[in-house]
Amino acid sequence: TTVAVIGLGYIGLPTAAILASKGIDVVGVDVRQSTVDAVNRGEVPFVEPDLGTYLAGAVTQGNLTASTKTPAADAYIVAVPTPFKEGHAADLSYIEAAADAIAPQLVGGELVILESTSPPGATQHMADRILALRPDLRHTDDDGGLFFAHCPERVLPGRVMIELVTNDRIVGGVTPRAAERAKSLYETFCQGEILLTDAKTAEMAKLVENSFRDVNIAFANELSIIADKVGVNVWELIELANHHPRVNILQPGPGVGGHCIAVDPWFIVDAAPEEARLIRTAREVNDSKPEVVVAKVVEAAKGFSRPLIAALGLAFKADIDDIRESPALEIVETIASEIVSAEILVVDPHVTRIPESLAEKGVRLTPLSIALERADIVLLLVDHAEFKTLSREDLRGRPTIDTRGIFR
């Protein structure tokens, strides 16, 4: 069996490496020559624990090679990005490009799996596009036909190599036999339960999981604004309410970051704009939270002619180095533009270089001790382990905006 994995990013590359480690002949495909070259040298082009060991082993044993060209294979796994366009509709152009490259290679009997997080109907769309290019390969359920399935990933960055093996997996077939075929492939490395359904339900399952979390975080974020207005401490409020046996409120924060939870709910809103009222509002509540934080900082800064603001944390969540789509980054960028008289010092133990967008506004990265020594205002944005050891004494009565409740 030969498997072609299209897209060697955070999901495609670990999947290619783990399949190859099971002795399967894998070709990884990516449009970026630098990624292909790195993989062929056995090097991982991004940070993910244990992936390097799997990759180096697979390349040395000759089970994994990479190319910019899509080869002929028995099975294809498409793991390309699905960003959203203006107006929040999903951009399917990367999936379409993958389909166009796969179609000429097919002889009949192949399995084509879409793993990218996709709006409902995307797997059918990919199948229709391939079949339009290859009308000779009718989509029948006999062995000469083609088999299409959706199998969304749900791995947590930083734990990918573990969760690929241990997580349960949803496999949705465009036909039941396609689901069975896809299941056999995932069984080679997945020890979790493999749950079969149709393609559209599988697409929705992934979107719904992340929307569930988004709506629940929005509830906590809205509570934090209400609590400020009525004058109660939101952290105490949530802690007390959570003693109820059937209440489990999440934690408010400066907003929702990352590339999944802040994106996926929009695909549901786009599919059912009139009906997805709660899901849309949750997105809007979470997206507007950074402005609420900025307004508090602006208010606190009014008492100073040249305020020195210590911003603690830049990553999108605790104990990681990822600053893409980070609400903390958005907040620091905005206060640097809005409070022109301020000097801003950023502290983040996981970030080694200040992003260009901040450097050009004069924002600097400093160690925690220096920022705390000099600050007029303390702005806590990420609950990194290093900050959790701080106490109220360290604040010395200075105005503090604590978006994560570590000084509760």
φ/ψ of 400, rounded to 5, equals: -135, 130
∠ CA 233-236-237, nearest 5°, is 80
| 288 sits near ligand SAJ (criterion: CB under 6 A) | no
In the list 258, 287, 304, 319, the residue contacting ligand SAJ (rule: CB under 6 A) is: 258
Note if 151 is an active site residue: no
Note if 190 is an active site residue: no
Q: Find the helix packing angle between 277-301 and 327-338, rounded to 10°.
A: 40
Q: Which is nearer to ligand SAJ, 250 or 308 (CB)?
A: 250
In the set 151, 183, 190, 206, the catalytic residue is 206
In the list 257, 313, 399, 405, the residue contacting ligand SAJ (rule: CB under 6 A) is: 257
User: Quick one: which segment of 37-45, 74-82, 154-162, 334-342 binds ligand SAJ (CB under 6 A)?
Assistant: 154-162
User: Quick one: which segment of 31-39, 68-76, 257-265, 389-397 binds ligand SAJ (CB under 6 A)?
Assistant: 257-265
Interface positions, 156-175, toward ligand SAJ (CB under 6 A): 156
Question: By rule CB under 6 A, what count of residues binds ligand SAJ?
Answer: 17
Q: Which is nearer to ligand SAJ, 27 or 78 (CB)?
A: 78
What does R_g of the chain's alpha carbons equal in angstroms? 24
Q: How far is the CB of 362 from ligand SAJ (least distance, A)?
A: 26
Q: Which is nearer to ligand SAJ, 97 or 220 (CB)?
A: 220
| 290 sits near ligand SAJ (criterion: CB under 6 A) | no
In the list 58, 164, 185, 261, the residue contacting ligand SAJ (rule: CB under 6 A) is: 261
| 217 sits near ligand SAJ (criterion: CB under 6 A) | yes
Q: How far is the CB of 331 from ligand SAJ (least distance, A)?
A: 12
Q: How far is CA 108 from CA 142, 154, 351, in A?
A: 10, 30, 49
| 118 sits near ligand SAJ (criterion: CB under 6 A) | no
| 222 sits near ligand SAJ (criterion: CB under 6 A) | no
In the set 183, 260, 289, 317, the catalytic residue is 260
In the list 94, 266, 316, 387, the residue contacting ligand SAJ (rule: CB under 6 A) is: 316
Q: Which is nearer to ligand SAJ, 56 or 250 (CB)?
A: 250
Q: Which is nearer to ligand SAJ, 54 or 316 (CB)?
A: 316
Q: Which is nearer to ligand SAJ, 263 or 344 (CB)?
A: 263
Q: How far is the CB of 235 from ligand SAJ (least distance, A)?
A: 12
Site string for ligand SAJ, 225-254 (x = CB under 6 A): -------------------------xx-x-
Q: Find the helix packing angle between 277-301 and 264-271, rounded to 10°.
A: 130
Give the whole-angstrom CA distance, residue 77 versus residue 6: 6
Site string for ligand SAJ, 358-397 (x = CB under 6 A): ----------------------------------------
In the list 64, 155, 223, 300, the residue contacting ligand SAJ (rule: CB under 6 A) is: 155
Give the whole-angstrom CA distance, residue 104 versus residue 7: 18
Q: Which residues bind ligand SAJ (CB under 6 A)?
A: 154-156, 209-210, 213, 217, 250-251, 253, 256-258, 260-261, 316-317
The catalytic residue positions are 206, 260
